[in-house]
Amino acid sequence: MAVNQETPANPGAIGFIPAPPERMKAKPDETCLDFGKIFTDYMFVMDYADGAWRDARIQPYGPFMMDPASSVLHYSQSVFEGLKAYRAADGSIRLFRAKDNFERMNTSCERLCIPKINPDFALEAMKRLLRLEAEWVPSAPDTTMYIRPTIIAVDPFLGVHAAEKYIFYIILSPSGAYFPDGMSPVRIFVEDEFVRAVRGGMGFSKTGGNYAASILAGAVAKRRGFTQVLWLDGVRQRFVEEVGSMNIFFKVRGELWTPKLNGSILPGITRSSVIALAQAMGVKVVEKDIDIYELFELGARGELEEAFGSGTAAVISPVGMLRLQNRDLIINNFHTGPLAQGLYDTLTGVQYGRLTDPLGWTETL
Ligand SMILES: *Cc1c(COP(=O)(O)O)cnc(C)c1O
């Protein structure tokens, strides 16, 4: 069995397959970059076969040849990560807590019965790819290079089992500012019918299946005029879990509350950064079960001062309104609160190298 071994060895030298000149793409216009639609000329790929990761290489970006019976296509045995590279004012390219992403990927691998990767090697491979594609890292304000490491199971076999063949790959997508017109609070629908994940399931893993389970509720909420869904726990549908693909925070009577990690919540790296920064700012942070009905009571009494989501894509996304059944709760008069703004400014300041980094979260490529 190829699963759950200790951190595997470094698969060795990284090969390079050059792209023919006619395959090289024109760089996009940085002023109107979208999210996740444009990809660079190259990708990093390695294969898992015969019990080891092998054949690490950088090759031209392009489609994989896959058997239609490949297990990932039927049973979703896959994991992914999402992180960014940032262009600093001095032109250098910076990474933020990147090793944490590969360590979290291994946690996801364990749950999905996928062989682990060597995090140091994966980080080095990602840096190699970024150096090759450095010209693609945008420099317009608040743009980033979004990085998507992924592992898929590719055994051509319809039996339900842990696959023996996998592909690990990293693709790069230059992406635009998340809030092109400045941070603006969003309307959130509290979902009390569908659930995203349950304890004992895969909620703590970054895996496609969790997203497949979330699409219907997200689509219904959008149709009703909401940006995202606030997920409740899968058993009592009462305790707050997370919002869309972000973790959630509430400022209550000066304290910062966030749901405690319980197995069905994704342990966000932005979440952990927000907790550390808020504590450094002298704010008391409380990780606990948060009852949505109690939260609405606090809101009605004027004790809920701010709410915001946290995640790599948006960094901080203020919540202006929550709808629970037929009740609306307006938060901070639909304005971005000072704590959300302060955390956003500090986090992006550290990421782009405008502020010092006392916690050692960043590195230059
Ligand atoms: C990726 C993700 C997050 C945010 O994690 P970050 O590491 O902060 O980007 C939150 N919730 C879900 C479901 C996610 O997939």
CATH number at residue 18: 3.30.470.10
Indicate which residue's Cα is closest to atom 14 of ligand 1. 245
Residues 150 and 269 in one domain: no
CATH code, domain carrying 255? 3.20.10.10
Q: Which of 175, 207, 238 is the last residue of a domain?
A: 175
Q: Indicate the helix (H) or strand (E) that contains 330.
A: strand 327-330
> Does residue 362 line the site of ligand 1, with CB under 6 A?
no
Find how far residue 358's CA is from the centre of its chain: 23
Query: Within a domain: residue 61?
Result: yes
Task: Report the atom number in ligand 1 closest to the C-alpha of 312.
Answer: 9
Mean confidence (pLDDT) of the chain? 94
In a domain, 360, yes or no: no
Cβ partners under 8 Å of residue 6, min gap 6:
116
Q: Which atom of ligand 1 is nearest to the CA of 214?
A: 13
What the block records as the tokens of 268 is 């966000």
Bridge partners (DSSP) of residue 171 are 148
Asked if 221 and 125 sit in the same domain, the reply is: no
Atom of ligand 1 nearest to the CA of 270: 8
Instruction: Give the pLDDT band of residue 4 (cuts 50, 70, 90).
Output: low
Q: Tokens 């203020």 belong to which residue?
A: 318
- The 10s digit of each residue's pLDDT in 23-67 is 899 999 998 898 999 999 999 999 999 999 999 999 999 999 999
Largest CA distance in the chain: 65
Is residue 365 in a domain? no
Residues 147, 245 within the same domain: no
Q: At 325, phi and psi to the nearest 5?
A: 50, -115
In this structure, which residue's CA is closest to atom 10 in ligand 1?
Answer: 246
- Picking from 85, 78, 140, 136, the residue whose alpha carbon sits closest to that of residue 111 is 78
What SS3 class is residue 346?
helix
Q: How far apart are CA 81 and CA 170, in angstroms?
A: 9
Is the per-residue pLDDT at 3 higher than 70? Answer: no
Going by pLDDT thresholds of 50, 70 and 90, the confidence category of residue 177 is confident
Is-contact 59 171, C-beta < 8 A?
no
> Averaged over 3-20, what is the pLDDT?
79
Instruction: Examine the domain organization and report whether 304 and 205 are in the same domain.
Output: yes
Question: Which residue in this structure is represented by tokens 């942070």?
Answer: 285
Over the stretch 134-149, which tens digit does the pLDDT of each residue have? 999 999 999 999 999 9
Any domain includes 6:
no
Q: Does residue 4 fall inside a structural domain?
A: no
Residues 133 and 205 placed together within one structural domain of the fold: no
Give the chain's domain count: 2
Same structural domain for residues 248 and 125? Answer: no
What does the block give as tokens for 222? 């959008």
Ligand 1 pocket test: which of 79, 206, 347 has the largest number of ligand atoms within 8 Å of its C-beta? 206
Q: Quote the pTM value.
A: 0.95
Q: Which domain holds residue 101?
A: 11-175
Among 113, 143, 175, the domain-final residue is: 175
Of 121, 145, 175, the one marking the end of a domain is: 175
Residue 173: per-residue pLDDT: 98
Which residue reads 């000329």 in tokens? 41
Task: Report the SS3 class of residue 351.
Answer: helix
Residues 24 and 162 in one domain: yes
Residues 304 and 203 in one domain: yes
What's the distance, CA 92 to chain centroid?
23
Q: H helices then E strands: how many in the chain?
A: 7, 18
**Same domain, residue pair 110 and 235:** no
